[in-house]
């Protein structure tokens, strides 16, 4: 069952791009989170999306929000991607797609392409917005608009 606006984010854990265990309880319920699922590291759309979040990172910081990206790529691929584009936020490895399943992230293009979905979560751990679009440029704008409204 997919997570919807108004749901509390369930506990999850995954390895980050440093190979360290990330546990959602380190952020959820403490500060806002923008959790974005994307198809694949170092592809044109995913790179544009990550760089858009990077280029506007200070705006998210000013609102107290954390950004985390999730794809099925492994830790080593995430390390290269993060280093190549100087991404100042965590990327979580989800090779078994357990996090995608937990959140109910749909696939697109007849099930061939992993979905591109951003969850905007408030400081209490409640989903306040979901942006489901293959257009990478809209994820930043939708996230920041919503965070400013509730901030």
Q: Which sequence positions are flagged as catalytic?
A: 46
DSSP H or E stretch at residue 118: strand 117-121
- Within 1-100, strands assigned E span 13-15, 21-23, 33-37, 66-71, 90-93
| Alpha-carbon gap, residue 1 to 20, rounded angstroms | 28
Q: How many helices (H) and strands (E) does the chain have?
A: 5, 9
Residues 136, 142, 143: CA angle, nearest 5 degrees: 95
User: Which segments of the chain does DSSP mark as H helices, in order?
Assistant: 44-55, 57-62, 75-84, 98-103, 137-150
Cβ atoms of 41 and 73 within 8 Å: the answer is: yes
């Amino acid at each position: 069952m997919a997570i919807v606006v108004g749901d509390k984010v369930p506990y999850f854990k995954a390895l980050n791009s440093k190979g360290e265990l990330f546990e959602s309880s380190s952020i959820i319920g403490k500060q806002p989170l923008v959790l974005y699922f994307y198809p694949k590291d170092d592809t044109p759309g995913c790179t544009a999306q990550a760089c858009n979040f990077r280029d506007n990172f200070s705006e998210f910081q000013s609102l107290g929000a954390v950004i985390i990206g999730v794809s099925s790529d492994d830790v080593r691929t995430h390390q290269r991607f993060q280093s190549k584009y100087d991404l100042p936020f965590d990327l979580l490895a989800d090779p078994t797609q357990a996090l995608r399943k937990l959140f109910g992230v749909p696939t697109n293009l007849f099930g061939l392409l992993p979905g591109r979905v951003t969850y905007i979560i408030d400081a209490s751990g409640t989903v306040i917005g979901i942006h489901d679009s293959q257009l990478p440029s809209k994820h930043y704008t939708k996230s920041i608009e919503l965070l400013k409204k509730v901030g």
